[in-house]
Amino acid sequence: MAEEWNPKIIAIICNWCSYAGADLAGGARMQYPPDIRAIRVMCTGRIDPLFIMKAFQDGADGVLISGCHFGDCHYLEGNYKAAKRMFLVKNILKNIGLDDKRIRMTFVSASEGAKWAGVVEDVIKTVKELGPSPLKQFEK
C-alpha cells in the first residue's frame, strides 16, 4: 500500500495579524494539518514576488500569503500592495504552467485563530487535489 502524499505548503504571514492568529490557534489547541511551514514577515507588503517563486523552485507544492484585513494594516497599505502583487504572481504561475490555485492570499486577524485553522485546512485540501507541483520533476 502506497504512503499518502502530503503537500509542502509555505505560508508567508504577517507578524501583527496572521502570525498572532496562528499562535492563537496553536495556544487554543485547534487541530489542523501540520503540512504548513510558516515564515513570519513584518508586513505582507514586504513580500517580493521572487520569494514566492523561490518557494516553488525549492519544492513547495503551494504558497499561502496571509495578512491583516484591509483597513487594519499596521503599516497602513501593506496588505493592499501585497494583494496587487498577487495578481502579478498568479499570472506568472499560469505562464510557467502552474495552476494559480497553488497560491492563495487570505486575511486573518490576531483574534481569528479558528479562521486560521480553517484556511490552512482548505489550502491543504486544494493543493492535495492538485497533486505534487509539476516543478518537482526539475529538482536536482
Cβ(78)–Cβ(45) below 8 Å: yes
The span from the CA of 75 to the CA of 104, in Å, is 21
Cβ(43)–Cβ(78) below 8 Å: yes
Position 72 scores a pLDDT of 95
All domains of the chain, ordered by start, with CATH? 9-138 (3.40.50)
Triad 47, 15, 125: Cα angle to 5°? 75
**In the structure, what pLDDT confidence band is assigned to residue 4 with cuts at 50, 70 and 90?**
confident
Position 3 scores a pLDDT of 76
Report the DSSP beta bridge partners of residue 12: 39, 65
Set of cell numbers at residue 13 = 504571514
The span from the CA of 51 to the CA of 19, in Å, is 18
Report pTM: 0.93
Q: With a cut of 70, say whether residue 140 has pLDDT above it.
A: no
